[in-house]
Structure 1
Amino acid sequence: MTARITLPATGGGTETLTLREPAGWQRPAGPPASRIAYAAAHVVADPYADNAPGQPARLDWDATLGVRRNLWSWGLGVAEAMDTAQRGMGLDWAATRELIRRSAAEAAACGGRIVAGAATDQLTGVPAGLDEVTTAYAEQVAFVQDCGATAVVMASRQLAALATDPDDYLRVYGQVLSQTDAPVVLHWLGDMFDPALAGYWGSTDLDAATKTFVSLVHTHADVIDGVKVSLLDAEREVRLRELLPATVRVYTGDDYHYPELIAGDGRRFSHALLGAFAAIAPAASAALHRLDAGDTAGFRDILDPTVPLSRHVFAPPTQFYKTGIAFLSWLNGFQPGFTMVGGLHSGRGVPHLVRTFRLADAAGLLLDPDLAVERMRRYLSVAGVAA
């Protein structure tokens, strides 16, 4: 029987949506070969815990690790403990450590690819000086590597609060990178994802910031696997690819323009480390395997229809995109409830999540339409909307 639901209509009133059949993509035999692709995974809150704002994060470990096993089953790597996992927005360092440890062990058990975020969020308040930030970074990088994951050196709120010029960034990152022999990924996260990172790399002028960033990469290219760029600026990312050493990969974090950036321009292309891929894993997997076969048109035919969903989920205020990722996970049956650590499930309202539902259906990403309809009705009922 075809799944249908009555939803609030734009501009008032209601209308009935008849859901399409899911796209039916098949799980691959292995990961894609032509691109490295990581999905930045969210965390599932323990529904029995007090995951209110300001409270320590308590996770549903079975569901959280199940989300990661699902991503690996689609041939994608997992980017662990990144901003998608609510670093700085509900996930504290104690929970982060356990998350990295458990996920790295799961990756080793199933042969899945994993990277994990290393930051400075074990510090509280504004540190006394840059040396304290350097020590905190080094501690987290070492922990991630000891767990068996590749470290993603994330942008640091503490460093942003202390640094007065580009040299402060070069000094801290230079000391951290000089202490590791294992390859790391550098992460440039724009302030649309985290307003506390405004002026990162020592300037609000992105051209000047890029110059500092590129200088750092060239100086330490021997220990840099790649850079993840999350600026939502496709032209800037294309220019950056030309400025970096040929040995350094670019992992796009652009959740608005990922199809064209991954496809490339005939000379260079971006790999992927995307929060969006956590929401569209089956489509991302199928598209990347088309690309492996040299079928760029087929790659775009699959991936382009997911962009409206991703652009909506990551719409301003962009830092609340995690709410949409968790909502879609719940609709698809990967977690028992729609709650988030730090109370972040309140980060998006009813109209936004109704449109998320519609766009996920249009892209064929509601894997069990009957379940999705049942859960959407529950959500609308709690919100006071008849469906």
Structure 2
Amino acid sequence: MTVRLPDPTGGVRRYEPRAEPLALTAGAPFTSRTVFSAAHVVADPYADVSPDSPAAVDWDATLAFRRHLWSHGLGVAEAMDTAQRGMGLDWAGAAELIRRSAAEAKAAGGRIVCGAGTDQITSGSLAEVRAAYEEQLALVEETGAQAVLMASRALTAAARGPEDYLDVYGHLLRQASRPVVLHWLGPMFDPALEGYWGSSDPDAATDVFLEVVAARPDKVDGVKVSLLDPRREVGLRRRLPHGVRCYTGDDFHYPELIAGDEQGFSHALLGVFDPLGPLAAEAVRVLDTGDAKGFRELLDPTVELSRHLFRPPTRFYKTGVVLLAWLAGHQRHFTMVGGLQSARSLPHLARAYELADGLGLFPDPALAEDRVKNLLALYGVDQ
């Protein structure tokens, strides 16, 4: 059997899907790296909502996907960018997601961190930004989850310079009851975050970021760096205080950053580990044995798919992530909150299917083939 797939030139090519998936099973917990997958939310396809309505979430399917990740030994990074924070999921929806997922984590024995930001406001004074952060931090800590202090659009707009970032983050670290993860999300993921840490100069911004960490290293479990710049990430992690982890958020260079070098390595908190979960877990378990070559042999071939999913405009990578979850059988439909399933072209989606199938990511290749053919038929691509 073959599938007729559209390409960017306007033509159609034939692709022969693989017959068998990659054989992957759950295994022992990781010992050498701490690894989180930022997880997507599953929309309720029967909800009568518009793109401007509050998100309608299929809670059963959303929580089932988190159990899938935990079953392979991965931690879940909840209510992060991958869950469409600020792109379909508002604070009320995120708060409910955090409560439900944290409770599910306790029941399943899974590790979880949750994003705390300021998306209940769109703008405001520095005092209002601090209050918004405090509200979200308090909710996360009340659930028993660990907090990830997310980059804030409102803080970007309100801050006059680096001193305001130092003040806000210093205040939050004093408030936190347990160590948090600090998240530096680059403007390629969210253009509204241009100039974060008080400067558009990456070197100056890095210095401010590290100053925040150095002021209270006892309150910083780690930093998540999503800049798609491996040189900068390596330089930053070498300057971190002892005991503060670097979690890579680089969806282009993650194999080399996780493998590390003679001076250290990055842990991981990655959106691409949503579709790659079982394969990524297998690779990390190989790395646990000290086999860096075997780790790279498993994970390096996935980079082409990740670069495709995260190609500019990078913030729309969630569309490909949800497509692959549907094709893999983790949800019954290809619908997203905010109607974001329309954010990528059909050739882009077709190529995502082809690359994922080639990696053996679909537990049931025949189901994935049937579903992608149904999607193509809706666009008028006859088989």
The interval holding the TM-score normalised by the smaller chain is: over 0.9
Within 1, Cα distance between the matches of 2:339 and 2:239? Answer: 41
Aligned residue in 1 for 2:214: 218
Query: Quick check: 351-360 or 46-55, which moved more?
Result: 46-55
Name 2:366's counterpart in structure 1. 370
Counterpart of 1:42, as a letter, is: H
Aligned match of 1:135: 131
Contact 1:117-1:151 within 8 A present in 2 as well? yes
Distance in 2, Cα, partners of 1:263 & 1:325: 24
Task: Give the counterpart of 2:203 among 192, 200, 207.
Answer: 207
Amino acid at match of 2:297: D
8 Å contact 1:51–1:341 — kept in the other structure? no
Letter of the 1:57 counterpart: A
TM-score (ref. length: structure 1): 0.97
State how far apart, in whole Å, the 1-side matches of 2:251 and 2:219 are: 27
Structure 2 equivalent of residue 25 of structure 1: 24
Contact 1:52–1:341, Cα closer than 8 Å, also in 2? no
Which of 229, 243, 258 lines up with 1:247 in the alignment?
A: 243
Q: How big is the shift at 1:7?
A: 1.6
- 1:179 counterpart = 2:178: no
TM-fit CA distance, 1:14: 2.5
Provide the C-alpha distance between the structure 2 equivalents of 1:179 and 1:158, rounded to a whole number of angstroms. Answer: 20
Once residues 88 and 150 of structure 1 are traced to their aligned partners in structure 2, the CA distance between those partners, rounded to angstroms, is 21
SS for the counterpart of 1:39 is: strand
Distance in 1, Cα, partners of 2:344 & 2:229: 24
* 1:177-213 superposed Cα distances (whole Å, 9 cap, x missing partner): 1112301000000000000000000000000000000
- The one-letter code matched in structure 2 to 1:245 is P
How far apart, CA to CA, are the structure 1 residues paired with 2:342 and 2:8? 21
Checking the alignment, whether the CA contact within 8 Å between 2:4 and 2:381 is kept in structure 1 is: no
1:299 to 295, 301, 304: 295
Cα distance in 2 for residues equivalent to 1:74 and 1:51? 34
Matched, 1:80 2:78: yes
Once residues 282 and 356 of structure 1 are traced to their aligned partners in structure 2, the CA distance between those partners, rounded to angstroms, is: 18
Q: Which amino acid aligns with 1:126?
A: S
Q: Is the 8 A contact 1:51 1:343 kept in 2?
A: no
Task: Report the CA distance between 1:367 and its aligned residue.
Answer: 1.9
Identity of aligned pairs, percent? Answer: 60
Q: How does 1:59-98 map to 2 (within 5 A)?
A: 59-98=57-96
Please give the alpha-carbon distance, in whole angstroms, between the structure 2 residues aligned to 1:168 and 1:314: 31
Q: Unpaired segments of 5 or more residues in structure 2?
A: none
The question of whether the paired residues in 1 share the 8 Å contact of 2:238 and 2:263 is answered with no
Q: Within 1, Cα distance between the matches of 2:207 and 2:341?
A: 38
**Whole-Å separation in 1 of the counterparts to 2:106 and 2:370:** 36
Deviation at 1:268, TM superposition (A): 0.5
Q: Does residue 4 in structure 1 map to residue 33 in structure 2?
A: no
Which residue among 43, 54, 57 is the counterpart of 1:45? 43
User: 1:102 matched to which residue of 2?
Assistant: 100
200-209 or 176-185: which moved more?
176-185
Structure 1 residues not aligned, in runs of 5+: none
Any idea what the Cα deviations from partners look like across 1:23-55, whole Å, max 9, x if unmatched? 111211x32110000000000000011343211
| Native 8 Å contact 1:284 1:303 kept in 2 | yes
**With structure 2 as the length reference, what TM-score do the two structures score?**
0.98
- Tell me the residue number matched to 1:319: 315
Alignment deviations for residues 132-189 of structure 1 (CA, whole Å, 9 cap, x no partner): 1101101111110110110000000110111110001111111111112301000000
